[in-house]
Structure 1
């Protein structure tokens, strides 16, 4: 460890960047409290199908795919900092528009197809912000973080995602507590969406005070600015050495994705796809509905999502504490085994129609296993396995694949559950087993290596 490193400054920059993660979690989970009201107001009010319900609940994910896909272009053209500012603006617009979709064009409180389209439009706008933040926040952190604590710092982004979910679970519960279902369906769901405007505004303001990453500045031939930031982060002597390493990798590599072979891109895509195919967002988006299905009352189901959120936070902290000590692969494999146990057990309980506390226990085992492994570690690996010159483009591909997989899993969940709840959960359990085999066979260990040293690891994969 370099004693000249300004850890306080590094943590401050990380905390600002992780507000993008917090809004990622907030925006994706706010629908969990509002989805039944949206169903009552728009879906049932227009006599639409369960497919329309699933598509509406998951509509933000279309934006996430778009945001992930364009993140490479924006982060390369605008920079990491300005791309996050674009995301903050999109979060703010989405919060206001989703809570008041009638504004400007429609009569408030009257369900129409036009209103449904407008609601989905605002959710897609927020999704684009999520897609951008999901790619650029870990990219920003990875490019300012020293190698020996990079895994921990990128894991803070996952902590922020989960904390954002916990906050919005609590906000949703507070809004719904003691209210009639009629009030929630007419008004309460609007407050749930509007509440996101507060953290979105804060994120946008704080981004004005953080610097661009030194690796991006070096790629733009602004080496003096890059050196100044590196000196503040790492100290004068270390900064010169790090800048020389960055300049070497920037100068000698091509911008083509094929420069390092296809295997590293495939690994990034499969990391993203498996993170979603294990079914985590089903548990997050539909949490109150799932808890009601196992016998909880309306208020209790909202409260149980808060309990689940607390479990998520605790086990994300476990990942943060161990990722730079145990390494990435052991945590991923351990988490996959735990997820498989949880989901297969839930599937078996569903087949035998066993409803009760045991289902809640296995949901917690499943989510805890995810949060100590695939939740944070997938983002750590995506942020660090790609070389400097292709990082923006490669992360964009991986993140777009992640959101496409997320949309597929989330939008098909209601229809799959109508077919067979047990088979649905067993499918996620099988995906968990396959994810462990994938990590064991294909994923390289990146613990303790600088972003520049990762090039040698990647060359060995060819």
Structure 2
């Protein structure tokens, strides 16, 4: 089989789609370096500051609601092109906006792009990939997200350094964007990868499974022959996909209500939302503030962000290499177990650290261990599972439902974490995160099948024949 697969072509298609993940990560993380400057320039109160941070999440929720419907109707490729346009518009608009209201509008537009690409990029990769490489190819998307995080932290750090070391630059727009109001440059630098994403999408084909669904079999066969090289294997894949699609005689919404598919959708919603309440975004977004409160304020908070981002990226590379060898479920077992241990250690530090005289550097170590366990398991696995769990006919729609749950969870944890840190104390907050790992582990253990090495059609037949 390996000799009849055009692996280089598959990697190219996956990397192009995964570039959307880079934009997702950059757009999400870049705001961390702009909050103080934007707050000072526009004299924002606490509510306005929260709205500036959270408005992109509102856009993301809007984006996931429509992403699946658009991709099922117009195609995966066309929907990715739309996301690239949204990212480009947002980046340019944020760089040249005239007031705070315009800034929020452009951030929301970027958020819609995040919501769209968070569904469509892993979905596209899943549909073009072959079974034995699908896990690591879809994981390229999560790797791109983490590189986007790291890229945003580095750009923020470099541009801030440039603006402070070149205060005398007074050349029109350049001075405004990169010196006097450097937050514009931080947000606007996303224009470069966004335009690259827009251009390079035109060099990849539409998803062959979507083309088969729409009855365009000749074009789908041409793409499958480029992927599998062998005409015989391409014809087999075409027949496999057609046989499954033919058995789905119900409409999209009625198919979602079929017992096995309904169960898969509910499971997807649960793992998408529970994953947020295990602390991942609380650590990534509020980690620097927690470090400072624990006595690490002597260092540069941007340095700690870069360190967390670096561990996140390197660990995701490890997950990409082993996901198809170890398996989705085993990675979850190992990683979530490590998350529970690290969360309990973090909580213990906050309870006994001062009285026991434990150095605050241990807190940083516990955080990095948590990031490692999280990146190697749920962060790498969640988009792989969501992209391969659902039937072709409703894959976009079902992923939108799961993605909607994920972004609702992200929004809630972003809003609730400061309240929990204040009212439950940091120790209570991290113990709650540890407790939330238990139902996640049970759901994956009891309800999610191992999908490693199985074709999308085999996974689809499993859910179509599963009862509640």
CA distance in 1, matches of 2:41, 2:431: 32
Q: Which residues in structure 2 correspond to 1:304-453 (within 5 Å)? A: 304-352=304-352, 354=354, 356-419=360-423, 420-453=425-458
Structure 1 portions without partners, runs of 5+: 107-114
SS at match of 2:311: helix
**Deviation (angstroms), 1:451:** 0.4
1:110-145: CA deviation from partner (whole Å, max 9, x where unpaired): xxxxx2x43222211111101110100011001100
What is aligned with 1:163?
A: 147
SS at match of 1:27: helix
- Give TM-score scaled by structure 1 length: 0.91
Contact 2:347–2:426, Cα closer than 8 Å, also in 1: yes
Contact 1:227–1:239, Cα closer than 8 Å, also in 2: yes
CA distance in 2, matches of 1:33, 1:348: 30
What is aligned with 2:247?
A: 252
Instruction: Give the one of 180, 183, 192 matched to 1:198.
Output: 192
1:266-292: CA deviation from partner (whole Å, max 9, x where unpaired): 111011112211121222233443333
Instruction: Give the one of 74, 77, 85 matched to 1:78.
Output: 74
**Structure holding more helix per residue:** 2
Q: Which residues in structure 2 correspond to 1:208-223 (within 5 Å)? A: 208-223=202-217
What is aligned with 2:224?
A: 230
What is aligned with 2:137?
A: 153
What is aligned with 1:99?
A: 95
1:291-343: CA deviation from partner (whole Å, max 9, x where unpaired): 33334458622112112111111111121111111111111122111112222
1:219-255: CA deviation from partner (whole Å, max 9, x where unpaired): 1110000000000001211000000111111122032
**Deviation (angstroms), 1:81:** 0.3
CA distance in 1, matches of 2:115, 2:399: 11
1:177-226: CA deviation from partner (whole Å, max 9, x where unpaired): 37669x89962222111111111111001011110010011111100000
Alpha carbons of structure 1 residues 232 and 165: separation in structure 2 relative to 1, 3 Å? same
CA distance in 2, matches of 1:386, 1:89: 28
Contact 2:296–2:361, Cα closer than 8 Å, also in 1: no
SS at match of 1:3: helix
What is aligned with 2:170?
A: none
Moved more, 260-269 or 400-409: 260-269
SS at match of 1:286: helix
Contact 1:54–1:412, Cα closer than 8 Å, also in 2: no
What is aligned with 2:175?
A: none
CA distance in 1, matches of 2:433, 2:151: 26
Contact 1:10–1:145, Cα closer than 8 Å, also in 2: yes
CA distance in 2, matches of 1:33, 1:430: 32
CA distance in 2, matches of 1:225, 1:204: 22
How many residues of Structure 1 are paired with residues of Structure 2 in the alignment?
A: 445
Q: Which residues in structure 2 correspond to 1:123-138 (within 5 Å)? A: 123-138=107-122
Contact 2:212–2:220, Cα closer than 8 Å, also in 1: yes
Moved more, 406-415 or 78-87: 406-415
SS at match of 2:34: helix
What is aligned with 1:110?
A: none
What is aligned with 2:13?
A: 13
What is aligned with 1:58?
A: 54
CA distance in 2, matches of 1:423, 1:53: 26
Contact 1:33–1:288, Cα closer than 8 Å, also in 2: no
CA distance in 1, matches of 2:338, 2:119: 27
**Deviation (angstroms), 1:461:** 5.1
Alpha carbons of structure 1 residues 52 and 16: separation in structure 2 relative to 1, 3 Å? same
CA distance in 2, matches of 1:79, 1:299: 48
Contact 1:32–1:287, Cα closer than 8 Å, also in 2: no
Moved more, 23-32 or 54-63: 54-63
Contact 1:291–1:360, Cα closer than 8 Å, also in 2: yes
Q: Which residues in structure 2 correspond to 1:37-52 (within 5 Å)? A: 37-42=37-42, 45-46=43-44, 48-49=45-46, 52=48
Alpha carbons of structure 1 residues 239 and 451: separation in structure 2 relative to 1, 3 Å? same
Q: CA RMSD in A?
A: 2.1
**Deviation (angstroms), 1:257:** 0.9
